[in-house]
Amino acid sequence: MVDVNLSDAEKRYIVDGVKLGTRVDGRDHLDYRQLEIETGLVSTANGSARIRLDRTDVLITVKMEMEPPLLDQPKNGQLHFFVNCSANAAPEFEGRGGEDLATSLSSMLERVYSSPHTLNTAKLCVVPGKHVKVLYVDIEILECGGNLFDAVSLGVKAALWATKMPRIYITGEDGGELEFSVSDNPCDVDRLDVS
């Protein structure tokens, strides 16, 4: 998204090409660029994905924490999205420049994932009313080459699919407070259903 000063002739070339049905890089108007998705990159996170759509590069990580639930939704877990446009992606993102784009991306994702059809947060409940799993999804925009919304939403879905959350067992009760044991076995994990 570097601001390239196009001459009038170049603008005419692009517009006339689109009218004839061809874009500057030879694609048809409904064609996608080459897409690559990798998961399981970051070992410190419960789930991670990297998505590359030609020049657009986005890294998404998912971390799980346990917290008390929201008062009006005691049986549902939560999802929080944080988008960070790093200054590497485009010079205008330096400092607080990327904040507008970041808030619009994160509010779009929150709207999409608010429905139980996208992700059923009732499955993230551990003890209703007391403890639920909260998933913090951190999105890092490494390079901005256009079509960020598509890339970010695909990447979030991939990262959530790849998320491995250790299973939590309730071992006992000690004076009203529950005790938990978290499984150390890397294969004893819960997965998320993102279909």
Instruction: Write out the residues near other proteins by the rule CB under 8 A.
Output: 71-73, 76, 100, 103-104, 107, 111, 114-117, 120
Looking at beta carbons only, is 114 or 171 nearer to other proteins?
114
Shortest Cβ 180–other proteins spacing (Å): 24
Question: Toward other proteins, which CB reaches closer, 48 or 76?
Answer: 76
Ramachandran region, residue 54 (left: φ > 0; alpha: ψ -120 to 50; beta: rest)? left
Q: Are 88 and 189 in contact (CB under 8 A)?
A: no
Q: Which is nearer to other proteins, 5 or 34 (CB)?
A: 5
Residue 130 beta carbon to other proteins: minimum distance, rounded to whole angstroms: 16
Backbone torsion region of residue 113, taken as left when φ is above 0, otherwise alpha when ψ lies between -120 and 50, otherwise beta: alpha
| Residue 81: closest CA among 54, 52, 112, 55 | 112
What does the alpha-carbon distance between residue 153 and residue 31 come to, in Å, rounded to a whole number? Answer: 18
Instruction: Check residue 122 and report its DSSP letter.
Output: G
In the complex, minimum distance from the CB of residue 21 to other proteins, in angstroms, rounded to a whole number: 24
Closest separation in Å from C-beta 90 to other proteins: 17
* CB nearer other proteins, residue 72 or residue 177: 72
